[in-house]
Amino acid sequence: MIKGRDKIRAVVIGGSAGSFPLMGKIFASLPANFRHPIIVAPHRLKHVRHGFVEALRLKSALEIIEPIDKQKIEAGKIYIAPANYHMSAEPDVYLSLTTEDMRLSSRPSIDITLSSVGELYKENTLGILLTGANKDGAYGMKVINDQGGITIVQDPSTCMVDTMPKSAMEITQIDYVMSVDEIIKVLLSINR
């Protein structure tokens, strides 16, 4: 399926315009015994704090959490960056939520989450970037790649808006370009 799948210890996913139903589909496809943490940075509306996570929880067998600052990262849980906070993985294996300026008009910033997870888990990171309408996430994918992790972008031809995966492909060597169904197969394969 993918080379180096046995080394994966953490999954990080970013996405913007059109990615919400895809995230729902991905999470609904994962078994309750999924053994890695999944850390997710979606672009979210600043003032809408409720509804997003609740909707994702409806179909997932995994626990989906909107973390509190300094929450420990645990295997088998899905962490969604809250509205109006940047979320980064810290060296002591917890998530910090901060209020610095928006990056590329976004808080949460996908770059911040992806790059911090890449730095924490290094070659054990699987970074996934889905459909989206700006360049956020491209830098984060570059960090994951530089750290020796595995990178996958959604096939631009299947994206609602292809700017995000294409931007990542422009600034770094992306390992795999896949449809969402193929991405789900990869996630299932790293759980073996």
Partner 1 sequence: MYKFDLKYSDLNTFAEELKYKCRIDIKSFTEGAAKRIIGGFMDTHKVSGVYDLINWINANPRNKDEFMKAIIPNKTEFFRDPDLWRFLEAELPKIVKSQGSIKVLDLGASSGQEIYSFSIMVNNLKLNKQVELIAAEKFQIKINQMLEGTYSEKEFESCENNYSRFKVGKSFDEFVSRQGGAFKLKEEFITPIQTKQYDLVNDRAFGEFDIVLCRNVMCYISLKKARPVYKSLSDFTKKNGYLILGVQEDLSNSFFNRDFNCVNEEFKVYQKVR
C-beta of 91 vs 157, nearer to partner 1: 91
Greatest C-alpha distance within the chain: 41
CA distance to 23, 73, 77, 135, 160, per residue, from 16 (Å): 10, 23, 21, 10, 10
C-beta of 15 vs 118, nearer to partner 1: 118
The interface region with partner 1, picked from 10-18, 82-90, 125-133, 180-188 by CB under 8 A, is: 82-90
> Is residue 110 within 8 Å of 116, Cβ to Cβ?
no
Does residue 43 bind partner 1 (CB under 8 A)?
Answer: no
CA distance to 34, 58, 94, per residue, from 103 (Å): 31, 30, 22
Q: Which strands form 71-72's sheet, in the order they lie side by side?
A: 71-72, 94-98, 86-89
Q: Which residue is catalytic, options 19, 29, 36, 43? A: 43
Least Cα distance to 46 among 114, 137, 108 occurs for 108
Does residue 172 bind partner 1 (CB under 8 A)?
Answer: no
Print the binding letters for residues 110-139 with partner 1: x by CB under 8 A, - otherwise: -xx--xx--x-------------------x
C-beta of 104 vs 188, nearer to partner 1: 104
Print the binding letters for residues 140-169 with partner 1: x by CB under 8 A, - otherwise: ---x--------------------------
Amino acid residing at 31: P
Does residue 67 bind partner 1 (CB under 8 A)?
Answer: yes
Tell me the two tokens of residue 187: 């996630």
Q: Is 29 among the catalytic positions?
A: no
Q: How many CA atoms lie within 13 A of 135 on its CB side?
A: 9
> In the set 24, 96, 133, 161, which binds partner 1 (CB under 8 A)?
96
Tell me the two tokens of residue 64: 């989906």
Q: Is 136 among the catalytic positions?
A: yes
* Residue 157 CB, nearest approach to partner 1 (Å): 27
Active-site residues, by number, are 16, 43, 136
Residues that bind partner 1 (CB under 8 A): 47, 49, 66-70, 82, 84-85, 88-92, 94, 96-101, 103, 111-112, 115-116, 119, 139, 143
